[in-house]
Structure 1
Amino acid sequence: MEKFLKLLKIETLGGLIIRFSLAGLLLFGGFSKFTLIGAEGYSLQGAILMAAIETISSFGILYHFKNPIMGIIGGLLALVSVIIRFVFTLYWLRTEIGSINSLFESFNIMTLVFNNGMFHIFLLIGASIYCTGNSYKHYITNRLTQPWPK
């Protein structure tokens, strides 16, 4: 039984590492994207929107400990921002390389050339799904353990 309890502590520690790492990456990405995309000639409004989505999602992921609903919202926003980042990368590849005619061809190029990048995208998607599910689990647990209304 003691070994099982140690494994639960390790799982909790791993979940905290995933949560804080994802929040840190999104917070860094939100603030850096605010300056980088605007500076490179892309839409400044789009850069501000992406920075806002990633910053709000990182704060929501961290605020999970006080309010699990904010963790759910933060996790879903993190998932949306990773998907937007992925689609933006595909679109960027299609426009920058002249021989690519479709997003599917740019996806093929991305899997051939940027294997490491694809791995990180899938890790970010998994981390955001984990954070959303964990916050949802805590929300349901809190709802079940609250006393009945009077």
Structure 2
Amino acid sequence: MLKCDKFSQMEKFLKFLKTESIGGHVIRFSLAGLLLFGGFTKLILVGALGHNLLGAIVIAAIETLAAFGLIIHYKRPEMGLAGAALAILAIIIRIIYSLNYVKESLTQTDSFLSAFATFLGLYNNGLFHIILLIGAAIYCMGNSYKNYFRNRLTQPWPH
């Protein structure tokens, strides 16, 4: 009876690991999709509105490379690491761009502190999404880091 109980506990644990793995795939592909969509639309919208086209191209390139790095993670975890680092960079750039937009367009002051207060008041739901994106990027970075070292440890030693 005791062996059967241990087997059922192990079965529950393995189901939990499978659920965690599926959740990780959803997080990785969702972040890659958001970055890819954000990269292409930023290139189109910012350029079409007559803003800094070169800046839009750079941001779109960073977000697109991050998305591809996150997807290539399954073949090369070091590319997943690079993609996650680029994703964090792209999210930080989005925050700075948003704060600058609020500062120049809405508050019309020189203070980022007043722009941040306005940003919190107006875009609190957007701020929640930004925090989720950063969390997803950190998760992807940790997962890629873990897989990179797992692959390095299981490879044969050079002779």
Q: What TM-score, normalized by structure 1, do the two folds share?
A: 0.97
* Counterpart residue number, 1:52: 61
* Counterpart residue number, 2:41: 32
Check if 1:97 corresponds to 2:106: yes
Residue 108 (structure 1) aligned to one of 112, 117, 137: 117
Letter in 2 for 1:21: S
* Counterpart residue number, 1:123: 132
1: CA distance, partners of 2:118 / 2:110: 12
Displacement of 1:42: 1.1
Assess if the C-alpha contact under 8 Å between 2:59 and 2:90 holds in 1. yes
Q: Deviations over 1:88-124 (max 9, x none)?
A: 0000000002454311111111112211000000000
Assess if the C-alpha contact under 8 Å between 2:42 and 2:56 holds in 1. yes
Counting matched residue pairs gives 150
Change (3 A) 1:109 1:98: closer
Q: What TM-score, normalized by structure 2, do the two folds share?
A: 0.92
2: CA distance, partners of 1:37 / 1:136: 34
Letter in 2 for 1:144: L
Check if 1:67 corresponds to 2:41: no
* Counterpart residue number, 2:26: 17
Check if 1:41 corresponds to 2:77: no
1: CA distance, partners of 2:121 / 2:135: 21
1: CA distance, partners of 2:73 / 2:106: 42
Q: RMSD of aligned C-alpha atoms?
A: 0.9
Matches within 5 A, 1:78-93: 78-93=87-102
Percent identity, aligned pairs only? 55
Unaligned runs of 5+ in 2: 1-9
Residue 17 (structure 2) aligned to one of 3, 8, 17: 8
Greater radius of gyration (CA):
2
Unaligned runs of 5+ in 1: none
